[in-house]
Copies of this chain bind each other. A is one copy, B any other.
Amino acid sequence: MTTQLHLQIDDRSGVPVYRQIMDQIKYYVAGGTLRPGDQIPSIRELANAMAVNPTTVVKAYSELEAEGIIEKRHGKGAFIAAQAPALSVVDQEIALRRSAKQLAVEATQLQVPSPKVITVVREELGALSPERNDEDDPIKFSVLGGDRAS
């Protein structure tokens, strides 16, 4: 049965299903709920659980593999990859700066005071950083807004 994952797919959001899968797995990896070596649901298992075509899950898994997040093994399953070596500090900063700039522009447009922006970023970082609990989170599959399941 592999690791249980609590994935929520929202059909109404407009965000592609494969991308929702990617984002959420990334989130669990970032938060430490999923750790290197952990087995994640097989393509068919996940596709079946959320009532989508296996190819859609393949798409998500393939992209994640290309990003070095997971590793697929033929006949075995899919696993969280060993943590990739950190980029050079300059490359880190280039990538980070792009996202930060975008956040800054959006926050300004929303007229959010800077201190609040910092606070929220701190909170979101904090939600990920702590060493994760081991066997908490009753992790399940689920689907939202699905007129998918006939």
Contacts and interface: CB of A to CB of B under 8 A. Distances in A.
A124 B118 CA distance: 11
Nearest to A106: B99
Interface residues on A, range: 35 or more
Interface string A119-149: 0111111111100000000000000000000
B120 A118 contact: no
Contact of A96 (B23, B92, B96, B117): B117
Interface in A93-132: 93, 95-97, 99-112, 114, 116-118, 120-129
A125 B96 contact: no
A30 interface: yes
A87 interface: yes
B92 A104 contact: no
Contact of A117 (B30, B31, B105, B121): B121
Contacts of A120: 93, 96-97, 100
A59 interface: no
A123 B93 CA distance: 12
Counting from the closest, the 3 A-B pairs by CB-CB distance are A104-B124, A30-B108, A86-B111
6 contacts: A29-B109, A86-B110, A96-B117, A96-B120, A104-B121, A114-B126
